[in-house]
C-alpha cells in the first residue's frame, strides 16, 4: 500500500506565492467602450440581415480581435483587429477576411468599418 502514495518531495513543488504576487500583471490590448459600440452597431445590422450569427472577442498581449462568424463551428468570416503597434504607421485598426486578406486598414475605426457597408449594399443589389 505504501507504493500507492508518492514520496512528499516528488508529489508537489513548493512555490513562493510572494514571487507570483509581486510580478506585474500582463497588459492586454482590448477594445474600449466606444470602439466596441461601433463594432456592435455594424454587427447588429448584419445579424438583422441574416448574414452573421456569432462573434468572439479576444484580448491578447499585442492586439485585440473581434471575430465574426456565420456559424459557430466555422472559421471566422471577418476579424476586426486593433493593433496599437501599427497606430503610427498604417493605422491601429484593420478588417481581415477569412483567407487573411486585409480588406481595410486605417487610423479611424468608423472609416475602417465602412467596408461592411459596401458589402451590405452589394448583397441588397444582388
Tell which residue, 104, 119, 110, 115, has the closest CA to residue 49.
119
Tell which residue, 101, 80, 86, has the closest CA to residue 37.
80
Edge to edge, the sheet with strand 93-97 lists 54-59, 64-69, 78-82, 93-97, 102-106
Listed by start position, the domains of the chain span: 33-125
Residue 90: band (very low, low, confident or very high) from pLDDT cuts 50, 70, 90: confident
- Does the predicted TM-score (pTM) go above 0.85? no
Name the grid cell of 105. Answer: 486598414
> Which residues does residue 106 pair with via DSSP β-bridges, in sequence order?
93
Residue 23: left if φ>0, alpha if ψ -120 to 50, beta else—which one? beta
What pLDDT is stored for residue 17 in this prediction?
73
What pLDDT is stored for residue 22 in this prediction?
67
Amino acid at each position: 500500500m505504501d507504493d500507492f502514495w508518492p514520496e512528499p518531495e516528488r508529489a508537489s513543488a513548493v512555490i513562493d506565492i510572494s514571487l507570483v504576487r509581486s510580478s506585474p500583471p500582463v497588459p492586454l490590448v482590448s477594445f474600449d467602450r466606444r470602439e466596441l459600440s461601433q463594432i456592435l452597431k455594424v454587427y447588429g445590422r448584419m445579424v438583422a440581415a441574416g448574414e452573421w450569427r456569432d462573434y468572439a472577442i479576444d484580448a491578447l498581449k499585442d492586439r485585440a480581435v473581434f471575430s465574426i462568424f456565420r456559424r459557430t463551428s466555422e472559421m471566422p468570416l471577418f476579424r476586426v483587429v486593433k493593433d496599437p503597434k501599427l497606430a503610427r504607421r498604417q493605422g491601429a485598426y484593420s478588417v481581415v477576411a477569412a483567407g487573411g486578406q486585409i480588406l481595410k486598414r486605417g487610423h479611424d475605426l468608423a472609416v475602417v468599418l465602412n467596408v461592411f457597408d459596401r458589402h451590405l449594399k452589394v448583397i441588397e443589389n444582388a
